[in-house]
Chains A and B, each alone.
Chain A
Amino acid sequence: AQKITQTQPGMFVQEKEAVTLDCTYDTSDQSYGLFWYKQPSSGEMIFLIYQGSYDEQNATEGRYSLNFQKARKSANLVISASQLGDSAMYFCAMREYFSGSARQLTFGSGTQLTVLP
């Protein structure tokens, strides 16, 4: 089974509107972290936001917020007031904590977001 599932290969949003990118994950660990990265066409992976499994409040970073629903194992990214520069590939990733050490990041397949003027 896939650890990270992103069911939306592509999304379109009108400039200035909000958009939600879906991410569900699968883990039996109690302690883990969830990340979102942005990858523009230039190739660089840019860290956006992080949510720890024990964090009670949803993480927010500027226009980015993470809608964390632990029981449903979902960690959707919400981008408010979309800008043309938000057009990029977005990856959800999870880092599990096992036997006293952190495992590597596991990435989803990504969602290509296109912001329309």
Chain B
Amino acid sequence: ETGVTQTPRHLVMGMTNKKSLKCEQHLGHNAMYWYKQSAKKPLELMFVYSLEERVENNSVPSRFSPECPNSSHLFLHLHTLQPEDSALYLCASSPDRETFGEQYFGPGTRLTVT
């Protein structure tokens, strides 16, 4: 399997549920990213991990909790979400944070919070 994969592709959860989104990259990259894409809004960067260390956190509410156990895997743990958190969540990776190389995106997880 190649590229960046994300599971699940679709997720419906209630406001009291706890769920996790998973991202895996098979490209040997050292940097991984979580983005949120809401309808009719630009992509919003949520978190950046470089060599398994969180290096950026763009004022994301604590109900979103990222985890990067190794350079190939990235998780986004979700709990007590709000309906406005419904969006497409995209994972991306790049060789590292320091180069201008393009980011490779996964197919995204379509999250609906009811």
Chain B CB within 8 A of A68 CB: no
A43 contacts which chain B residues (CB < 8 A)? 88, 90, 107-108, 110
Nearest CB on A from B16, distance (A): 27
Interface of chain B: mostly helix, strand, loop or mixed? loop
Q: When the two chains form their complex, are residues A50 and B100 in contact, meaning their CB atoms are under 8 A apart?
A: yes
Once A and B bind, how many residue pairs between them come within 8 Å at the CB atom?
51
B43 contacts which chain A residues (CB < 8 A)? 91, 105, 107
Q: When the two chains form their complex, are residues A108 and B105 in contact, meaning their CB atoms are under 8 A apart?
A: no
Chain A CB within 8 A of B1 CB: no
Nearest CB in chain B to that of A48: its residue: B102
Q: When the two chains form their complex, are residues B108 and A109 in contact, meaning their CB atoms are under 8 A apart?
A: no
Q: When the two chains form their complex, are residues B41 and A101 in contact, meaning their CB atoms are under 8 A apart?
A: no
Q: When the two chains form their complex, are residues B102 and A35 in contact, meaning their CB atoms are under 8 A apart?
A: yes
How many of B's residues come within 8 Å of A, CB to CB? 23
**Given contact pairs A43-B107, A43-B110, A44-B105, A33 touches B42 in the complex (Cβ within 8 A):** no
Interface of chain A: mostly helix, strand, loop or mixed? strand
Q: Which bracket fits the contact residues of A?
A: 20 to 34
Q: Please measure, in the bound complex, the distance between the C-alpha atom of A43 and the C-alpha atom of B90, giving whole angstroms.
A: 9
| A contacts, CB < 8 Å to B | 4, 33, 35, 37, 42-47, 50, 52, 91, 95, 97, 101-102, 104-110
What are 14 residue pairs bridging A and B, where the CB atoms are less than 8 Å apart in the complex?
Answer: A4-B42, A43-B88, A43-B90, A43-B107, A43-B110, A44-B106, A44-B108, A46-B105, A47-B105, A97-B100, A105-B45, A106-B42, A107-B42, A109-B42
